[in-house]
């Protein structure tokens, strides 16, 4: 299959990135980051979560973030674990939510304190409630290429959960390599397997970059016909319930790779780099993005000999 001439990026940095940073940013700074990402041309952005603030304090007050974001030309999504989260998200004006299931029982238990089956029952009610209110719902499957607690994960389990999420009304399912252990051929085969139960235009991919395989995995999935890719500005974050997991693949690195292959993303790399620099300054950390590092070195010029 040939690679599509355009790819949609779902920017997850303000949620997946910031949820696992040591410093908690204020709702105002989170909104400012989202506004800068939108100004860079990103049209789908995950803005935060309506989860327990005890479990993930970095995402507390996502309602305040939503209130401060300029929503023009922007699809903002928020993560929701249950009906309470849905009610709070709707009260805050959310127009898109994401529910998050797993392909591994132990991860499901550690992340959301219930079995996969219980989570799917819970999400069926959440997604139905969302749709009744005109709110779109996305579904995640975590641990699609490996689990921090169970190791190998069966592709059939991934396809089952992905199929169930679509069946209950999710418009798209994002396949999450939560701990970033996958490699390209494995990633491609997984997409092919899920494509047996889901149309390719409903499959997104979500790679963490723990072992440096994320860009190669993305390319393998694009070759398999995927057209929606999740990434996080500056490669921020990780997962609080997946020890050792690195952040998502950096959006700058994905945009650079796609631009160099003449694949349209609608994103300005310069503005994106500026948004990443803003996030890193707020977090007092360096970007994980190799492209951001290379551009910074180029700006500094050759060192004085």
Q: Which stretch binds ligand HMG (CB under 6 A): 80-88, 192-200, 212-220, 293-301?
A: 80-88
Closest contact distance (angstroms) between CB of 159 and ligand HMG is 16
Query: Residue 16 interacts with Mg ion (CB under 5 A)?
Result: yes
Catalytic hit among 147, 221, 239, 280: 239
CA dist 99 to 113, 211, 212, 226, 281, Å? 14, 26, 27, 20, 30
CA–CA gap between residue 2 and residue 29 (Å, rounded): 40
Of the ranges 28-36, 188-196, 233-241, 264-272, which one interacts with ligand HMG (CB under 6 A)?
233-241
Residue 81 touches which member of Mg ion, ligand HMG, none, C-beta under 5-8 Å by kind: ligand HMG
- Spell out a b/e string for 67-94, using b for 16 or more CB atoms within 10 Å of the CB, else e: eebeeeebbbbbbbbbeebbebbbebeb
When the beta carbons of 166 and 269 are compared against ligand HMG, the nearer one is 166
100 binds ligand HMG (CB under 6 A): yes
Q: State yes or no: is 239 an active-site residue.
A: yes
Whether the CB-CB separation of 234 and 19 falls below 8 Å is answered with no
> Under a CB-based contact definition with an 8 Å cutoff, are residues 147 and 153 in contact?
yes
Closest by CA to 27, choosing from 59, 70, 50, is 59
The footprint of ligand HMG on this chain (CB under 6 A) covers a number of residues equal to 25
Q: Which of 9, 11, 36, 49 binds ligand HMG (CB under 6 A)?
A: 49
235 binds ligand HMG (CB under 6 A): no
DSSP category for residue 15: I
> Which of ligand HMG, Mg ion, none has residue 107 at its interface (CB below 5 to 8 Å by kind)?
none
* Short-list 186, 156, 161, 30, CA closest to 99: 161
Cβ-based neighbour number of residue 216 at 10 Å? 16
Any idea which residues carry the catalytic annotation? 239
List of residues contacting ligand HMG (CB under 6 A): 16, 19, 49-52, 55-56, 79, 81-82, 84-85, 100, 111-113, 140, 142, 176, 178, 206, 239-241
């Amino acid at each position: 299959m040939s690679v599509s001439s355009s790819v949609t990026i779902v920017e997850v940095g303000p949620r997946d990135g910031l949820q696992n940073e040591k410093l908690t940013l204020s709702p105002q700074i989170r909104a400012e980051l989202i506004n800068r990402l939108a100004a860079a041309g990103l049209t789908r952005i995950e803005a935060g979560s309506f989860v327990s603030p005890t479990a993930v304090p970095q995402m507390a007050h996502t309602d305040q973030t939503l209130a401060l974001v300029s929503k023009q030309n922007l699809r903002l999504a928020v993560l929701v674990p249950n009906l309470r989260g849905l009610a709070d998200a709707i009260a805050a004006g959310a127009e898109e939510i994401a529910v998050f299931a797993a392909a591994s029982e132990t991860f499901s238990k550690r992340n959301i304190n219930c079995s996969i089956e219980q989570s799917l029952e819970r999400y069926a009610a959440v997604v139905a409630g969302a749709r009744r209110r005109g709110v779109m719902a996305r579904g995640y499957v975590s641990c699609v290429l490996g689990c921090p607690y169970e190791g190998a994960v069966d592709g059939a389990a991934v396809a089952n959960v992905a199929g169930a999420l679509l069946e209950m009304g999710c418009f798209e399912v994002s396949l999450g390599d939560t701990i970033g252990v996958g490699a390209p051929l494995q990633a491609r085969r997984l997409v092919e397997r899920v494509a047996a139960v889901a149309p390719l235009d409903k499959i997104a991919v979500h790679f963490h970059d723990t072992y440096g395989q994320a860009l190669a995995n993305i390319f393998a999935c694009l070759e398999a016909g995927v057209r929606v890719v999740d990434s996080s500005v500056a490669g921020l974050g990780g997962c609080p319930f997946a020890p050792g997991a690195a952040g998502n693949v950096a959006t700058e690195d994905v945009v650079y790779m796609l631009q160099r292959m003449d694949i349209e993303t609608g994103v300005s790399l310069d503005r994106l780099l500026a948004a990443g620099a803003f996030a890193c300054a707020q977090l007092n950390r360096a970007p994980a993005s190799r492209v951001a590092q290379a551009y910074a070195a180029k700006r500094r010029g050759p060192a004085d000999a």
